Structure formats: structure tokens, C-alpha cells
Structure 1
């Protein structure tokens, strides 16, 4: 879904006071019924992560961590079946999954007499049944399943969605009988930094030559797109020529302004494809210049 910058800003404004719980998506969907849930969730996740980066340091001082921990112990003792850790996270405006990590880390310091390894901490967040304290295990579980932006469950979902988008892209290419090399094949050939797809024979999409395709299972906002341009897309252009980026969950329409320089944006697999054939009368594939 391609959004105007004004539409995007309206959604962002609505996310400013929302917490990263499952209920927030219901609020957004009711407010913006014409936008897909995947687009709204992607925008909210990006905005919440920006917000978290700006404020996370205030939650990680030793005094603050200790106050959170002592409050958790007190309230969990008084109300052992209540989601006290989830409620605490929402009250202090911290991601529930990040709050669970902070409290679990502090708990393990008490039990182990020192900081737990990152591996142990991560494994317990993924599988709370490994936590020896049943009340804390329940609270950690409640935090991770109710957080739509951070945590092991979200990481698994994002990975699966990304894989699904790449599978869909390969399926669409095969459906069109387009010859290509995927990222794994390219790395086997020695490429260290590659797009998801290199087309062995270029195509033309909406009048623009395309040598490569990058799949992004996210929304393309200003910050993420600028980062991708600097860290990925222009290097792909320098190495392989002009290409196509698919933001499967949509993007700000005004960002599609680099077509003449060789970066085309779409929110789905293009339907208007012209294949280029080698031989007499074939189209030329000269690279664009700055």
C-alpha cells in the first residue's frame, strides 16, 4: 500500500501514545479501516522502536532497575496470579518484552551471584518454563506474548514474514519464467553483499530497466529507506546496475523519486513487465549516470 506523506503522518500521530500491546492494533484498525493491518503494524513497530531508542537509557540505570525489581517482588508476592510485570511495563512506558529481560536479568544475578550470560538469558526469554521461579516465568510469558514490537515471539514472526516474502518473490519470478540467481546462490559464487535477486536477463518495469530485486517485508518510511539507500541500494546499483525494491507492507509514495537514477519502488510484484531478449533488435541495457 502506497501512502502519501500526509496519510503516513496522520497514522504516526495516532501511534504516539499507544503501547506495544496487541490491543493497539485494534485501535489503529478501527481508526484507519482502509489500511491493511500489516501496514499499520509495520508503521507502529518502526515508530515505537524509534521512541524506545530515544528513551531506553532512562530505564537502564542501576537505581531504576533496582526500583523496578523491588516493586515487582512486592507486587508479585501480594498478587501472584496478576500480570504485574506487564502492568509495570505499561505504567513506565517500556516495552513489556524489554521489561521482562531487565527483571529476569536482575533475578538471575540474585540466584547466580553475578550477571547471567546472554545465551542463558535469551534461552529463558524464549522458553520461560526454564525459569526456576514459576511466578516470574508466568510474568515473563505474559510480557512476551503481549508485546507486538520486541521479544523472541516477534523476532520469530518477523523472520517468518521475511522468508514468506522472499518465497513469494521467487514464485512470482518462476511464474513469469524469468531466470534469476537468489541470495544464497550469489553468496556461493563469492558475493558478500547482494540483493535478494539478480536477474540473469534484465526486465523493464514501467519503462525502467531492472537488473536486481530487493524484498523488504516492512513499511518504507523516511528513516528506514534512507538507511537502506546508503547501506544497501546504492551499493547494489554500483555493482549490478538499476534495480527494484519491493516494500511488501507499503511505503511513503514521495520516496519513489530515484527512478531516473536507477532505484524503483513498488508495494507488490509488478504486473507491467517487459522482458529483454538478447539478439538483433533487443533493447539496450546501458546503466544510468548521475
Structure 2
């Protein structure tokens, strides 16, 4: 996908501000899958939350949100946090975490910030929250938020495994020998790609020693982060490799081919297998 098309898609998403716009955008961009559009929408939403979350986490804001929630709870209202999140244009899971942190601070930690591990555990399993009404509200926030929070993480983890399995199936069908990241970690590697080929292949004239599977769309923000945190580390350790963004990527990001990192949106149909007997 060209950058101009990506920018136009994001602009349309900002106009509608809802996942309901995806079929409409798909009609205008018939070459872009709904999976790609969904990934772009989620990434853009998460970037927005990262840019604005500090405003909601300020002591003044969090205190005000908690006071408002407690008053509504005392009046016997329901679905309080979901309504507040829509009004504030804030992720339900993020608002739920803010309220939970404040609640634990007031009720159990004498005004101190509760440990992040405790808060995270309660967000993943709201039944751990002692106040049943708060537990229900937090549970609703988690279930209603498929862009942020524990449910989003679970969805991404599940889809990631699905496409890693797809990659492994392709490699097995082609008879390519490889080892996975679990096997590499047993050998002491800390940062590992999804697949390390035992015998390199060539793709469009580029040597590929390793393959990383990304069940997402490759936008500039995520790709630059992956380059810094993952891809260059793989390159330093294993040599040149290939990243598959199964839901597509911005074409202009594929600028490191000559340096040893190529991008694809599927496993290439035409590869050249190296002869392992040739030294």
C-alpha cells in the first residue's frame, strides 16, 4: 500500500471514528482486506490513546473520574464506566484501569499507588476485585474494548499464533529445515525471530536466513519500533532476513533491502533453495 492511500484511509477513519466505517472504506479500496483495515484502525486508536493518556492519568483528572464514578455507584447506576469512556473519548479498559488504581489506592494502600502487577492481575481477572460492583464495571470495560487492554492483548496473541502456524505449515510443505524461537531460546538466544532457517533461501535476489511473522499491518510507527527492538538485533546475530506483514505494509517502508531486511505481505511464491552440500 502506498503512503498516500494509507493516509487517506486513516483520514476516513478519523471522520467516522468507529469500526463501522471499515466496510465503507473497503468499498473505496477494494484491494485492501478487512483484516488490514482492522489492523490499521486498531493501531491508529492505540497511538491516539498513547498520546492522550497522560491527560487522563493526571492526579486532578483521575481524582475527578473516581469521584464521579463513586457518586454514580452510590445512586445505583449501572454501566457507568462504559458511558464515561464514550463521553471522554477514552479507551474503556484504560478508564477502568485508572478507576481501579484509584480505588485500590484509597481502600487498600493508604493513598499510595498500588503495585502495577496487582492492578494488571485484577484487570485480567476482575473476580479478584473485592468490591463486586466495581468488578462488574471493570469486567464490562475489558469485554467492550477490543482495541486496548487485556482482551486486545489476547486477540493479538491468538492471531499471532495462527499466522506463525501458517508460516510453519508453508515451510514444512516446501521441505525447508528450520528451528523456532523456543528452540533458539533453549540455546541461550534472548531476542529471536519466529523462524531461523537451517539452510538460507533467496528471495528476489536477497538472502534470507530468518523470517519474522507479523499478523498486523506495517505502519511507520510500529515498523520503526520493530526495527529498533527486534529486526536489527536479528540481522546482527543471524544476517539478512525477511519480515512478513500478513495484513500488508506501507510500501515506502521497504527501504532496507540492500542492508539485509526485506518486507513482504505473504510468503513468496518463487524462492531459490540453497544447496546444503555446497560449501
TM-score normalised to structure 2 length? 0.90
Greater RCO, 1 or 2 (C-alpha within 8 Å, sep 6+): 1
Query: Residues 141-156 of structure 1 correspond to what in structure 2 (within 5 A)?
Result: 141-156=139-154
Q: For residue 136 of structure 2, what is the aligned residue in structure 1?
A: 138
Q: Cα distance, 1:79 vs. partner?
A: 5.0
Q: CA deviation at 1:201?
A: 1.0
Kept after mapping to 2: 8 A contact 1:29/1:40: no
**Contact 1:182 1:197 (C-alpha < 8 Å) held by counterparts:** yes
Runs of 5+ consecutive residues of structure 1 not aligned to the other structure: 285-290
The Cα of 1:207 is off from its aligned counterpart by: 2.8
State the SS of the aligned residue for 1:150: coil
Structure 2 unaligned segments of length 5 or more: list them.
none
Over the residues paired in the alignment, what is the CA RMSD in angstroms?
A: 2.1
SS of match in other structure, 1:199: strand
Mapping of residues 149-228 of structure 1, within 5 Å = 149-228=147-226
- Distance in 2, matches of 1:113 and 1:95, equals 25
Q: Retained in 2: the 8 A contact 1:218–1:249?
A: yes
Counterpart residue number, 1:116: 114
Task: Look up the SS of the partner of 1:210 in the other structure.
Answer: strand
Aligned equivalents of 1:13 and 1:37: distance in 2? Answer: 17
- Total equivalences in the alignment: 274
Structure 1 residues 84-132: Cα deviation after superposition (integer angstroms, max 9, x where no partner): 2111112112211010011112122232243433333222212223323
Q: Deviations over 1:195-222 (max 9, x none)?
A: 2211111112223221111111221111
**Residues in 2 aligned to 1:232 and 1:127: alpha-carbon distance in whole angstroms:** 30
Check conservation: 2:212, 2:243, Cα contact below 8 A. Answer: yes
Q: TM-score, normalised by structure 1?
A: 0.86
Match of 2:244 in 1: 246
Q: Secondary structure at the match of 1:119?
A: helix
Aligned residue in 1 for 2:69: 72
Q: Give distance in 1, aligned partners of 2:271 and 2:208.
A: 10
- Cα distance in 1 for residues equivalent to 2:237 and 2:117: 38
SS of equivalent residue, structure 2 residue 258: helix
